[in-house]
Amino acid sequence: MSGKDKGGIMSKLAETGQHIRSSQAWSSIFRPGSPFRDGYSDTPRNRSYVIMNNVLYHLHPVKVKRHGVRLSYTLCLGGLSFFLFILLTITGIFLMFYYRPTSPQAFLDIQALATDVTFGQVVRNMHRWGAHAMVLTVFLHMARVFYHGAYKPPREFNWVVGIVLLLLTLLLSFTGYLLPWDQLAVWAVTVGSNMGRYAPVIGDQVSFALIGGTQITPDTLLRWYVLHVLFLPFVIVIFMAVHFWRVRKDGGISGPL
């Protein structure tokens, strides 16, 4: 008896599901070929649709060169750099909820992450180790591209964009280094930014503008915080967009050796 009822409910559910899937709202959300629309069957047409009707189409073409897919060719370094950037954005937003860039408070907030905030310490750890990892993957990506000669025409300009991205990555890491406002942060940044002071003609001015004075003060903290969470991410996203766009415009990933 109950089995019969259950069957009735199941068929009702299936009917409702079918009704939802055929609604205008549903098909406006999921473009043709989406597995959520009519189910996914593995056909060349659907394989193309998955990319074409997806925001990923901005990043990847429908087809890529077979050799470029080999892990041993790219080692995924560029992709992982980008992914680390996303991971750092997510963990960074989390940290921003608990951080105030003022003089003793910044340090106290970082301390509080370890004691008062659920998952605070592990998220801060991920942010820090992820940042170091990103410097490393960006550098290794550059080395990979060099050894494959992938900077040669028509990809010369994208190499230059890549160098800008490397520089921005270093700046992002360096500005973030100050934010814990402990002895390590303050003195590492002092040593690091002292080097820039020797730049000819504009060295003093650049240094003054960057650290907001002649030496590192709580004003520097606010300034570098804004650079770290807003200005530099904004700039790097623009350069990343150009970088990814040029990869595709220049004919996709470079050819095999």
Partner 1 sequence: MAGLPEHLLRRSAEAKAKATGRPVEEILAELKGEAPPPAAGAPSAGSGPVRDLAKESADLGVPEDLLRRAMIARAKKDGTPIPGEPGAAPVAAAGTAPVAAGSPAPIPTIPEGVRTQRLLTVVKAGAIQQTKREPADKVNTWPHLLAIEFVALLVLTGLLFVFSIYVDAPLLEFANFNQQPNPSKAPWYFLGLQELLSYFDPMVAGIIIPGYGLAGLAFIPYLDRNPSVRPSDRKLAIMIFTFFVMGAAILTTYGSFFRGPGFNFTFPWVDGIFFDF
**In angstroms, rounded to a whole number, what is the distance separating the alpha carbons of residues 121 and 206?**
35
> From the CB of residue 31, how many other CB atoms can be counted at a distance below 10 Å?
14
Residues 147-206 within binding reach of partner 1 (CB under 8 A): 147-153, 155-157, 159-160, 163, 167, 170, 173-174, 177, 180-192, 194-200, 203
Would you call the peptide bond into 61 cis, given omega within 30 degrees of 0 as the criterion?
no
At residue 40's C-alpha, the angle toward residues 39 and 45, to 5°, is 130
Binding to partner 1 by residue 238, rule CB under 8 A? Answer: no
What is the residue whose two structure tokens read 């000669």? 149
Beta carbon of residue 216, minimum distance to partner 1 (angstroms, whole number): 8
Torsion of the alpha carbons at 23, 24, 26 and 32, rounded to the nearest 10: 110
Q: Are 125 and 95 in contact (CB under 8 A)?
A: no
Closest distance of CB 257 from partner 1, Å:
6
Q: Which 74-113 residues touch partner 1, going by CB under 8 A?
A: 76, 79-80, 83-84, 87, 104, 107, 110-111
User: Residue 234: helix, strand or coil by DSSP?
Assistant: helix
Q: Return the number of the residue (167 or 209) whose C-beta is nearest partner 1.
A: 167
Burial environment of residue 41 by CB neighbours within 10 A (0 to 12, 13 to 18, 19 or more): exposed
Q: CB 1 → partner 1: shortest distance, Å?
A: 46
61 binds partner 1 (CB under 8 A): yes
Q: Is 208 in the site for partner 1 (CB under 8 A)?
A: no
Q: Roughly how many angstroms between the first and final C-alpha of the chain, as a whole number?
A: 70
109-148 residues near partner 1, rule: CB under 8 A: 110-111, 114, 121-130, 132-133, 135, 143, 146-148
User: Does residue number 216 form part of the binding site for partner 1 (CB under 8 A)?
Assistant: yes
Give the containing element (helix H, strand E) for 209.
helix 203-211
* Smallest gap from residue 21 Cβ to partner 1 (A): 21
Closer CB to partner 1, residue 23 or residue 194?
A: 194
Q: CB 4 → partner 1: shortest distance, Å?
A: 42
Query: Binding string to partner 1 for residues 29 to 48, with x set by CB under 8 A, is what?
Result: ---------------x--xx
Size of the site for partner 1 (CB under 8 A): 87
